[in-house]
Amino acid sequence: MKKQIKKLGMLAGVTLMLAGVLSGCGSKVTADSLIKEAEVNIEKVASFAGDLNMEMGMGMKQDGVSMDMNITMDMDVEATVKPDEYHMDGSMSLSTLGMSMDMEVYGKENEDGTKLMTYTYSEGEWTKSEEDITDEPFAATMLNLNVDDSAMTLEKETEKVNDKDAYVLKTTVSGEEFAESEEAFGAIVSDSLEGMDLSKLKAEVTIKIYKDSRLPASFVMEMTEGLGENATVESDGTEMSLTALKYSINFNEYDSVASIEVPAEAIAAAEATSSDDALLEGLDDETDTTSEVQTDANGNLIISDYEDTKKVTVAVPAGMEVSEYSDATTAMFSTTATDSFAYASAYYIVEKMDDYYTEQDIIDMFKSDVDYYNSAEEYTDVVYGDVKTVQVGDKEGKYVSCSYKYSDTLFEKEYQAWIITDDGYAISCYISDSGDGDYGTLIDEAKIVELLAGVTE
């Protein structure tokens, strides 16, 4: 987790490294002079506070079954340079499966300054990891301004950032230049995308620098060219492609963070987890069943929410088989192979409803996929359907739908269906129906009812 987050910071440095040219300095404000002044001032910074956001789109395809995912991360961040400490607090969501997860991370040097201890809160528990300190501090990495010969332009007008005037600098990063940063970029997308050819990518970068302090105010990097088929990698029979990536960070305050304290409950819980791990060390890997698929006597899948407070049984749908990607919290199915290109798949999850996860959140996360399809040129004829209500036994079920063409060859229908249990859990089922030359015909409202009716408590 630390390496992933640290490489988010590396991307900031890499992006800015591709931003401008150090040549000449004078009284006239230029892109070059602003970058140079910012570099000097960054060396004096003791801490910063801000926020970062990442929006990533991915396409996956296996055995003719395709699925698009949007991953969003929103985090508040604060960090100090000496000692190397940081705190990140926010959430991460995977819209396709309707999953949203709160996340909090602390990083702190150990007493002798040789290791960085990372405390991570997710899925209801704290965990701890450690690694040798070999890189520059987290804050310095986030703020690092390395520059090369890339051209950068200075906009004529300043803009307001946190009620302060800021200069606006822009540049386009070519694929060849960005490929040099493949290690940092690939880690953000996911470890599984390492090795992807990024040479055809292009990114638009906007950097804002406070007029008064000559320190970075924000930057935004957005991939604009070379996505999709040009950014694809295959692993274990699954083809994955990067369809969108936008990363931004705002530096809201400087030198306002005196120190960062890790909560006592985080230290205690993480230490307990580490002790448990030590006791289990040396046991056969097969004893770890926390993520294994569980079945009943009839071969139906048993899944739970992430806190393991609610278990349900999901029957294998007629005409489908269990996917190898099913686990203790996700039931995945796909149609059995035929001579036809028509395929359908269904993915079930369970999540507790509360103030942070409502029916509207389920709808909004599905709608965010639709918004992306409307913005991407390879998707055409996008049609979004209103929420519909169906009767599932003695419960009320609901679903929304979307249809589109992808690259004028793949015809796709997607559905997000769900029921709410009496004790306040949402059982969600994401369904896709694909066809070649025409829309899939394997899924209709009756099939959606059947899929929802296959869940028992």
- Which pLDDT does position 64 carry in this prediction? 63
SS3 of the chain: helix, strand, coil, percent, to 5: 20, 45, 35
The count of other CB atoms within 10 Å of the CB of residue 246 is: 17
Residue 86, beta-bridge partner list: 79, 107
Give the model's pLDDT for residue 450.
94
Residue 5, helix vs strand vs coil: helix
Which one-letter DSSP state was computed for residue 191?
Answer: G
A 10 A CB-CB count for 124 gives 12
**In this structure, is residue 270 part of a structural domain?**
no
pLDDT at res. 175: 62
- 274-311, pLDDT tens digit by residue? 444 443 343 334 334 445 788 888 889 999 988 889 99
CATH number for position 433: 2.60.120.1690
Q: How much is the average pLDDT of 122-143?
A: 76
**In a shared domain, residues 386 and 445:** yes
Range with the poorest average pLDDT among 36-50, 340-354, 384-398: 340-354
- Pair (19, 142) in one structural domain: yes
Structural domain count of the chain: 2
**314-342 per-position pLDDT tens digit:** 999 988 888 887 888 889 888 865 545 56
Res. 23: pLDDT tops 70? no
Note whether residue 334 is domain-resident. Answer: yes
- Is there a single domain that holds both residue 306 and residue 194? no
Q: Indicate whether 280 belongs to any domain.
A: no
Confidence check: pLDDT of 78 > 70: yes
Same domain (yes/no): 365, 440: yes
In the predicted structure, residue 185 carries a pLDDT above the cut 60:
no
Question: What percentage of residues in the chain have a pLDDT greater than 90?
Answer: 24
Per-residue model confidence (pLDDT) at position 335: 81
The pLDDT value recorded for residue 288 is 40
Residues 255 and 307 grouped into a single domain: no
- pLDDT confidence of residue 145: 56
More confident residue, 17 or 337: 337
- Answer whether residue 394 is part of any domain: yes
Cα distance between residue 352 and residue 330, in whole Å:
14
Residue whose structure tokens are 């580490």: 274
Structure token pair of residue 26: 């004078």
As a whole number, mean pLDDT of residues 92-96 equals 73
What span, in angstroms and rounded, lies between the C-alpha atoms of 165 and 159?
Answer: 6
Radius of gyration of the chain (CA): 24
| Gap between the terminal Cα atoms of the chain | 34
Task: Using DSSP, state whether 273 is helix, strand or coil.
Answer: helix
Least confident window among 95-109, 160-174, 253-267, 417-431 = 95-109
Q: What is the largest CA-CA distance in the chain?
A: 79
pLDDT at 336: 63
The residue with greater pLDDT, 149 or 57, is: 57
Q: Considering 217, 250, 265, which residue would you say is the last residue of a domain?
A: 265
Decide which of 68 and 211 is more confident.
211
pLDDT in tens, 194-250: 666 667 778 888 889 999 999 999 988 888 887 777 777 776 677 777 788 888 889
Q: pLDDT, tens digit, for every residue of 153-177?
A: 889 999 999 999 999 998 887 766 6
Phi-psi region of 94 (alpha: psi -120 to 50; beta: other; left: phi over 0): beta
* 276 falls within a domain: no
312 pLDDT more than 90 = yes
Question: Which of 321-325, 372-376, 395-399, 435-439 has the lowest average pLDDT?
Answer: 435-439
pLDDT, position 37: 85
Residue 342 lies in a domain: yes
Greater confidence, 65 or 383? Answer: 383
Indicate whether 303 and 259 sit together in one domain: no
Flag whether 261 is in a domain: yes
Residue 387: the pLDDT is 94
Residues 191 and 67 in one domain: yes
Domain shared by 321 and 248, yes or no: no
Question: Is pLDDT of 189 > 50?
Answer: no
Q: Is the pTM of this model over 0.75?
A: no
- In this structure, the answer to whether residues 69 and 136 fall within a common structural domain is yes
